[in-house]
Amino acid sequence: MAGIINIGVSALNAFKRQMETTGHNIANVNTEGYSRQVVQLDARSPQISAQGYIGSGVEVASIRRSYDSYLATRVRDYTSSYEEFAVFEQRARQIDNVLADSAAGIDDTLQQFFASVNDVADDPTSIPARSVMLNRASQLGDRFNALDGWLEDIRHQLNGDLEREVGEINALAQSLASVNTRIGALNGTPGGIPGDILDERDKLIDDLSKFTNVSTLEQGDGSMNVFVGTGQALVVGGNYNTLAVTNNTQAADHKELVIRQSGGLTVNVTQQMTGGSLGGLLRFRDEVLDESQNALGRVAIGIASFFNAEHATGMDLDGQIGGDFFSAASPQILADPGNSGSIVVGFDDPADLTTHEYELVYTGGSWSMTDLDSGASVALSGTGTALDPLVADGMSIVVNAASNGDTYRLRPTRAGASSLGLLVTNERDIAAAEAVRTQDHSGNAGTGHIGAGAQTSSSGTSLPATPITLTFDGSLNQFTVSTGGTLAYDPASDTGSTLTVNIAGLGDFSFTMTGTPADGDQFQLSSNAGGVGDNRNARRLADLQSAKMMIGGTATFANTYGALIADVGTKTNQAAGNVSVQSHLLSQAEAAKSEVSGVNLDEEAADLVRFQQAYQAAAQVISVANTLFDSLLSAVRR
């Protein structure tokens, strides 16, 4: 009798526990990270009797959570990849949207500027046309400045995001360490480690996987060691290391990540923090943001350099040689604090500029340069003196002093876009005319004729109004230059060729010479002052729009800007493709995990019915035992 009651009671307890667990499952149907729990029942040990073993009811063996660590790891891996691409795409899209926008991008303003240069070429004496050109030029500068400022804002925001994410990772690491401690303490106790605490731990690791790649190693006591990035220990048992954001030694605006270990050791892990939103942010910065800002700067520097060079060979309305038209910053030199030498970096040929950053190091008496984006070493020509500077990738480097170990980070074009500005303020100072005027002397006897001249290099001082004469010496086949020197010209073979004469202190002048001059014939070069209707230099300036001068002489200014749009567009497009693939993989992995761990309300409802019925049956067993007992008592009472 007592046996029946005991069996009944054991069943009631067991089924009640099952119903409680079902209720717990239903209660947590919307709890993130919750794993469905299942009560495992065992038949109690039977009791021996003369007839054999008699069953003695049921007992709760354990309450286990349905959890598959392999599936959980997969979800974390895909979460990290998904977050990385999603953050990358979202940030890159910001830039993508703006670059081709006609209200914010460069191309429309660039076209308008060159249209205004063309209008000056059509009508070089018109002050209104010149005034429009200055306005357009200043608008162009403003647009570059604004776009660069906007990229700088994105960088600022990104640096703030790095701090915030590192803070969140540290908070998670701290929580994980404390959960590990609790798990370690519960290990070996009679109830074992509750599934809900394990869920809490796994949920923390899931959360961590949104920020960075995560790998785990479960310890004997049930605690979990957690590694981030490519394997940096974050949590070991009850201890954790903290991540921190620091400045790059040379570039304060370039943030890096370090792990501070409990022993006080600090390790730079910027390259190792892959995956997750943190990895996405770092990759966006290195692949899109830096590149875009440098590429924009390259366009600005190209425009300023080539426009200034051409402008300096022309003459303005007042007979002055054209001055610098645009301003643009020189390459950024970021010196290591430990340096004791110093260098000066300028531009060699803007056509050779890249969008990369470089590291320049002085070791063992020689300089070496590394492209920080590709990691390749860059060949340096020259010796580094002012007359023979070190030249590489469009930069020329003059070394003032060097000592072993000096390290510089060079950003040739970073400051280009923010510094582009207009230097000419007076409309009359636009050098639309050619600087030089050529003339055959009226008394010449031969058939020699000097063609239109051009100034090919300038010291900034114009030719004098009194002509410089070239007098032909028929016996030596050469011209004697009135300012000194000679210039060879053989009428038999050189007719139609371009001759260039250097006039000390003024620059180089070139012109074509045709025919056969008689001995003593004179040809004149003089300042083109008063040639206000001359548009030759304005036309050359306007022609810069379609001249392929950039990227090694293969691209126009607009092409160079187009390359930036294509680069950002392609990267955004690729990231968007990856996001959709990763989100598909992630939802599959989540489905697979929830197939094991998730709560299905219909299933729980069916279970509830099943357990209720079993409970009712067990109660019936007790009721039967009661009836038997009553029968026995009433038999005895008689």
Question: Is residue 558 close enough to count as binding another protein by CB under 8 A?
Answer: yes
Question: Is residue 572 close enough to count as binding another protein by CB under 8 A?
Answer: yes
Q: How far apart are CA 296 and CA 154, in angstroms?
A: 15
Cβ(197)–Cβ(183) below 8 Å: yes
Q: How far apart are CA 417 and CA 296, in angstroms?
A: 6
Look at residues 520, 441, 523 and name the one whose alpha carbon lies nearest to residue 473: 520
Least distance to another protein, CB of residue 416, Å = 20
Q: Identify the residue among 33, 184, 474, 598 touching another protein (CB under 8 A).
A: 598
Look at residues 298, 362, 270, 379 and name the one whose alpha carbon lies nearest to residue 559: 298
Q: How far apart are CA 82 and CA 493, in angstroms?
A: 72
Q: Identify the residue among 528, 537, 560, 582 touching another protein (CB under 8 A).
A: 528
Least distance to another protein, CB of residue 462, Å = 15
Look at residues 296, 17, 350, 261 and name the one whose alpha carbon lies nearest to residue 141: 296
Cβ(502)–Cβ(433) below 8 Å: no
Cβ(296)–Cβ(417) below 8 Å: yes
Q: Identify the residue among 64, 155, 539, 548 touching another protein (CB under 8 A).
A: 539
Nearer to another protein, 25 or 81 (CB): 25
Site for another protein in 402-441 (CB under 8 A): 433, 437, 439
Least distance to another protein, CB of residue 116, Å = 10
Q: Identify the residue among 87, 121, 328, 506 touching another protein (CB under 8 A).
A: 121
Nearer to another protein, 371 or 440 (CB): 440
Site for another protein in 366-395 (CB under 8 A): none
| CA distances in angstroms from 447 to 100, 450, 497, 523, listed in the order given | 57, 10, 15, 12
Distance of CA 549 to the CA centre of its chain: 26
Question: Is residue 64 close enough to count as binding another protein by CB under 8 A?
Answer: no
Question: Is residue 445 close enough to count as binding another protein by CB under 8 A?
Answer: no
Nearer to another protein, 36 or 409 (CB): 36
- Which stretch of DSSP H or E encloses residue 603? helix 601-637
Question: Is residue 38 close enough to count as binding another protein by CB under 8 A?
Answer: no
Q: Identify the residue among 1, 27, 29, 617 touching another protein (CB under 8 A).
A: 29
Nearer to another protein, 270 or 578 (CB): 578
Least distance to another protein, CB of residue 27, Å = 13
Q: Which two tokens stand for residue 495?
A: 């007719």
Q: How far apart are CA 195 and CA 511, in angstroms?
A: 91
Least distance to another protein, CB of residue 589, Å = 12
Question: Is residue 587 close enough to count as binding another protein by CB under 8 A?
Answer: yes
Which residues, 6 or more positions from 620, have their beta carbon under 8 angstroms from its beta carbon? none
Q: How far apart are CA 449 and CA 472, in angstroms?
A: 12
Judged by CB under 8 A, which stretch of 91-99, 188-196, 299-307, 418-426 contacts another protein? 91-99
Question: Is residue 100 close enough to count as binding another protein by CB under 8 A?
Answer: yes
| CA distances in angstroms from 479 to 128, 207, 586, listed in the order given | 43, 84, 81
Nearer to another protein, 224 or 564 (CB): 564
Which residues, 6 or more positions from 404, have their beta carbon under 8 angstroms from its beta carbon? 362, 363, 364, 365
Q: How far apart are CA 430 and CA 134, in angstroms?
A: 9
Judged by CB under 8 A, which stretch of 12-20, 46-54, 90-98, 255-263 contacts another protein? 90-98
Q: How far apart are CA 234 and CA 227, in angstroms?
A: 5
Question: Is residue 542 close enough to count as binding another protein by CB under 8 A?
Answer: yes
Q: Identify the residue among 153, 519, 595, 630 touching another protein (CB under 8 A).
A: 595
Nearer to another protein, 246 or 447 (CB): 447
Question: Is residue 565 close enough to count as binding another protein by CB under 8 A?
Answer: yes
Question: Is residue 249 close enough to count as binding another protein by CB under 8 A?
Answer: no
Least distance to another protein, CB of residue 96, Å = 5
Running DSSP on this structure, what letter comes out for residue 132? H
Nearer to another protein, 42 or 603 (CB): 603
User: What would you report as the CA-atom Rg of the chain, rounded to the nearest whole angstrom?
Assistant: 41
Question: Is residue 546 close enough to count as binding another protein by CB under 8 A?
Answer: yes
Strand arrangement, sheet containing 342-347: 342-347, 395-401, 390-392
Question: Is residue 320 close enough to count as binding another protein by CB under 8 A?
Answer: no
Least distance to another protein, CB of residue 143, Å = 15
177-184: Cβ within 8 A, 24+ apart: 177/235, 177/237, 177/238, 177/239, 177/240, 178/238, 179/204, 180/223, 180/224, 180/235, 180/237, 180/238, 181/223, 181/237, 181/238, 183/221, 183/222, 183/223, 183/224, 184/221, 184/222, 184/223, 184/237, 184/238
Question: Is residue 530 close enough to count as binding another protein by CB under 8 A?
Answer: yes
Nearer to another protein, 156 or 584 (CB): 584
Nearer to another protein, 218 or 595 (CB): 595
Judged by CB under 8 A, which stretch of 347-355, 460-468, 494-502, 586-594 contacts another protein? 586-594
Nearer to another protein, 587 or 623 (CB): 587
Q: How many residues bind another protein (CB under 8 A)?
A: 68
Q: Identify the residue among 594, 621, 622, 626 touching another protein (CB under 8 A).
A: 594
Q: Quickly tell me which residue has 């310890």 as its tokens.
A: 219
Least distance to another protein, CB of residue 180, Å = 28
Residues that bind another protein (CB under 8 A): 29-30, 36, 92-93, 96-97, 99-100, 107, 111, 114-115, 118-119, 121-126, 433, 437, 439, 528, 530-536, 539, 542-543, 545-546, 556, 558-559, 561-563, 565-566, 568-570, 572-573, 576, 587, 590-591, 594-603, 605-606, 608-609
